[in-house]
Structure 1
Amino acid sequence: MLYHLTLTTILLLLSVASHAEGIKLTPGKWQIEVTSSMSMMPQPIIKKLEECITADQLSPAELMKDTGSCKVSDINSSGNKLSWKMICKHHGGEMAGSGQFTSQGSQMNGQMEMAMDLSGQKLTILNKWSGKRMGPCN
């Protein structure tokens, strides 16, 4: 779920900030590596995936279907960099955090940190990602 949320968040923010000249993501086949670290787990989880990102997926209307109970705010773009804050409500709890993203069109990287109180303990999740465009979708 965290990987889907991460990818959805990236695409949503890019579509919202598409008016910013410096933020570009070229549609096509992408190889993305996501490293998730959680405060309650000793080792990070690393996941590599290949994803076909189409121009339609960069549509804000299409992406809003996948955000569920998450709300994005304080979106700022400067050059090829994007930053934001996000709050997600799930099962009576709330996760809050922030992220940043950099894209050069055929390469991207960034991170998103989320935190919540879980039965009196603070749970922190840090997702870092990097990706590169491999070519057109098959």
Structure 2
Amino acid sequence: MNKKFLLSLIIVLLLSCASFAVAAPDMKEGLWEITVTSKMEMPGMTMPMPPAKYKQCLSKSDFVPQKAEPGQECEKMSVNVNGNTVSWSIKCNSKEGAMKGTGKITYKGNTYEGFMNMTFPNQGGGEGKMTSSMSGKWIDKCK
């Protein structure tokens, strides 16, 4: 009886590991150039921000693009993969307060398109919102 139980448990664990491995999107691992265009909204004001570009190494085990600003500690709360689409939620802590957000990108081999929405405490009270569109392109191997 114990041998059958252990064998069943091993099979279930192997199958769940295999299904997790298949859950990676179709993306090229390596160094990506990421362009983010954002708009910040606060009570009574909307402020477009200039596009920002940065580079990040992405892999099939770490495929969520993120760039924490100095003084921020960010943590991915959840990551879901559905085909080539990756969605996530994130929480960042800084001296100004906690920011929360969600994002979604769709990989197409060596490019991706997507968005991210963040909410943050407004210094004058209430909550601010930042909406960002994101695009990425593979540029090289990571070194």
1:83 Cα deviation from its structure 2 partner: 0.9
1:29 Cα deviation from its structure 2 partner: 5.4
Q: Of residues 105, 108, 123 in structure 1, which corresponds to 2:128?
A: 123
2:79 is aligned to: 75
Q: Which amino acid aligns with 2:74?
A: C
1:49 is aligned to: 53
1:90 Cα deviation from its structure 2 partner: 0.9
Q: Of residues 25, 28, 42 in structure 1, which corresponds to 2:27?
A: 25
1:104 Cα deviation from its structure 2 partner: 1.5
C-alpha contact (below 8 Å) 1:101/1:110 kept by paired residues: yes
Task: Tell me whether 1:84 sits opposite 2:88 in the alignment.
Answer: yes
- For residues 29-40 of structure 1, what are the structure 2 equivalents within 5 Å? 30-40=32-42
2:100 is aligned to: 96
1:114 is aligned to: 118
Pick closer, same or farther for the CA change 1:20–1:39 going to 2, 3 Å. Answer: farther
Aligned partners of 1:137 and 1:84: how far apart in 2?
Answer: 24
C-alpha contact (below 8 Å) 2:40/2:130 kept by paired residues: yes
Identity among equivalent pairs (%): 28
Aligned partners of 1:129 and 1:92: how far apart in 2?
Answer: 24
Structure 1 residues without counterparts, runs of 5 or longer:
1-17
SS at match of 1:128: strand
C-alpha contact (below 8 Å) 1:108/1:132 kept by paired residues: yes
Kindly name which structure, 1 or 2, has the bigger radius of gyration based on alpha carbons: 2
CA RMSD of aligned residues (A): 3.3
**What TM-score comes out, normalization by structure 1 length?**
0.63
C-alpha contact (below 8 Å) 1:96/1:115 kept by paired residues: yes
Structure 2 residues without counterparts, runs of 5 or longer:
1-19
SS at match of 2:28: coil
Pick closer, same or farther for the CA change 1:111–1:52 going to 2, 3 Å. Answer: closer
1:18-43 alpha-carbon deviations (Å, 9 max, x no partner): 83445133145544321011004644
